[in-house]
Amino acid sequence: MVIQPKVKGFICTTAHPAGCAANVAEQIAFVRQQPRLANGPKRVLVIGASTGYGLASRITAAFGSGASTIGVFFEKPAAGKRTATAGWYNTAAFQTAAEREGLYSRNVNGDAFSNAVKAKVIDIIKADLGQVDLVINSLAAPRRVHPDTGVIYSSSLKPIGKSVTQNGLDTDKESIKEFVREPATQEDIDNTVAVMGGDDWERWMRALGEAGVLAPGCKTTSYTYLGDTITRDIYWDGTIGAAKKDLDRAAGVLRGKGIDASVSVLKAVVTQSSAAIPVLPLYIAILFKVMKQEGTHEGCIEQIYRLFKECLYSSTPRLDDAHRNRVDEKEVRREVQAAVEKIWPQVTTENLNELSDFRGFRSDFLKLFGFGVAGVNYEADVDAEVPLNNLVDMTPTE
């Protein structure tokens, strides 16, 4: 079939297998062009491994350090006229590249919050690797079924303690509009922390530790975002921020148990999650303009390679006062934020593409789904059904 993007808001309901493969190949090529990671990981578990920062982590570990990797994700294969999800195509491309390189790679498709998936991953580690020396927590999900109680929690994007009115970007209409967000209830906060906070990370590490599959000195990190003034009300001081602060709590608990645990702060990039958060698309579009002009712009793969090289596997890791790894330092530089803050009130629907890099934002968003990647013929007929090797499928049958 000929596959074209079908976009509404922050959702694209189609994905392009050749485009996703080319996008993965670009990231692999970038890592191969960098110096080999000294003392890098060799046996890696990535929870949330199929897109964005999780995919970049798996690529960096495998092709920057020769690591064996196990990826956990929740994706769907193609069915009839429906394409597979982008994460399915991404993982299939990664698997093919890993096999070509002679690298071990296993894939578990299912609910990472569940006890069953944790148990299956432990079985695979025991049988194939013995132990792991790095666990990446990069899970992004809007809801969670609690593995013990069965209670379903849904996250929300709300400020805490006050309503917030702020300009933002309607990505469908490419227009600037005012967004109003009412304050969260305590239930909203608790639910968001239950989904996006540190409880499941702790559960993974406890299960892995009790099973004896954590190597001595094993590192673990969970990804977060801090941002600055413009995004603070809706992000760090909102329900999502409450969940991200809970990651700091969890990291402290894990360190108290003798595990080398840290939270890693990454810069704002285009993801499905960031596209869904009011204010962030406009902030990112302006940020991209500023950082590209000064030559400091980075995407997921550049960020993660630096995280591994400069923080996780550096003899002089860069930690802040809260014991977080920081590779967002180029974004939060005072000069960069001052430039963004100066542009922010000037942006209108009419000058959006002049004062911001919305075209770059849109391009990066489409690339998430394999569209707009250089060298791909989007008029060609392609097979949407792409096999994914070394897969353990634990998704519920429909």
Q: Which phi and psi angles does 105 have, rounded to 5°? A: -155, 125
Residue identified by tokens 């394999």 is 370
Higher pLDDT, 15 or 171: 15
Task: Encode pLDDT of 277-309 as tens digits.
Answer: 768 899 999 999 999 999 999 999 999 999 999
Higher pLDDT, 32 or 177: 32
153 is catalytic: no
The superfamily in CATH containing domain 7-141+187-269+300-328+370-393 is NAD(P)-binding Rossmann-like Domain (3.40.50.720)
Q: How distant, in Å, are the alpha carbons of 115, 144, 323 from that of 122?
A: 11, 21, 28
Name the band, by pLDDT with cuts 50, 70 and 90, for residue 216. very high
Give the per-residue pLDDT at 271: 83
Which whole number is the average pLDDT over 264-268? 96
Task: Encode pLDDT of 118-170 as tens digits.
Answer: 999 999 999 999 999 999 999 989 999 999 999 999 999 999 999 999 888 88
**Of 236, 226, 240, 280, whose CA–CA distance to 155 is shortest?**
240
Give the per-residue pLDDT at 398: 53
- Say if residue 313's pLDDT is above 60: yes
User: Quick check: 169 and 281 in contact, CB under 8 A?
Assistant: yes
**249 class by beta-carbon count within 10 Å (0-12 exposed, 13-18 middle, 19+ buried):** middle
Catalytic site residue from 235, 283, 305, 313 = 235
| Share above pLDDT 70 across residues of the chain, in percent, rounded to a whole number | 99
Report the mean per-residue pLDDT for the chain. 95
Q: What is the DSSP letter of 159?
A: B
For the chain, give every domain's residue range: 7-141+187-269+300-328+370-393
